Amino acid sequence: MALIWLSRGAVLAILLYALRKGEEPERLVAVILVATGVLDGLNHAVFGVPALFLVDPGHLVIDSWALLGLTWVALRANRGWPLWACSAQVIVVLAHMAKLIDLSLVRYGYFAMTQLPIYIQSAALLAGTSAHLRREGQIGRYHAWRLA
């Protein structure tokens, strides 16, 4: 149990770090990740804990929305790390699709595919924010977004 709270604290610290030190892409990804957590909490408060053997429409909508937002950032940011965060979100959405197709995947695979990608996303956000700060220290300010 302590490991769960320690990992959640680490994710929270990374999100705060990105919000405080990052540029627009880092802050936007942090906001998307925070919003998914808040919306998930609201989903559970309104509809209760979902049955593990069914696809929860609230989770599907929240995770699909997050995928759209992270994809937008990954395609437009002048950074490589958002692709990792977006790829982890693809895993989450694919878990919902797998659950729709074959309910025998429900037990451990579904849990791993929906709950563990936040750690990949947080690691990418931490690495990206740190790389941004290092790069900015070396070359000065640079464009946060690709010039279309």
Q: 32 in a domain, yes or no? A: yes
Distance between CA atoms of residues 72 and 88, nearest Å: 14
First to last CA, the chain: 47
Q: What is the pTM of this model?
A: 0.87
Give a yes or no: residue 7 inside a domain.
Answer: no
Q: How many domains are contained in the chain?
A: 1
**According to the 3-state scheme, what is the secondary structure of 20-85?**
HHCCHHHHHHHHHHHHHHHHHHHHHHHHCCCCCCCCCHHHHHHHHHHHHHHHHHHHHECCCCHHHH
- Rounded to 5 degrees, what are φ and ψ at 144? -80, -25
**Which structural domain, as residue segments, surrounds residue 40?**
24-139
Per-residue pLDDT of the chain (148 residues; tens, 9 = 90+): 788 899 999 999 999 999 999 999 999 999 999 999 999 999 999 988 877 667 889 999 999 999 999 999 999 999 999 999 999 999 999 988 888 877 665 667 777 888 889 999 999 999 999 999 999 999 999 999 998 7
Query: Does residue 110 belong to any structural domain of this protein?
Result: yes
Q: Would 124 be classed as within a structural domain?
A: yes
34 falls within a domain: yes
**Is residue 51 in some structural domain?**
yes
Residue 145 counted as domain residue = no
- Residue 98 DSSP symbol: H
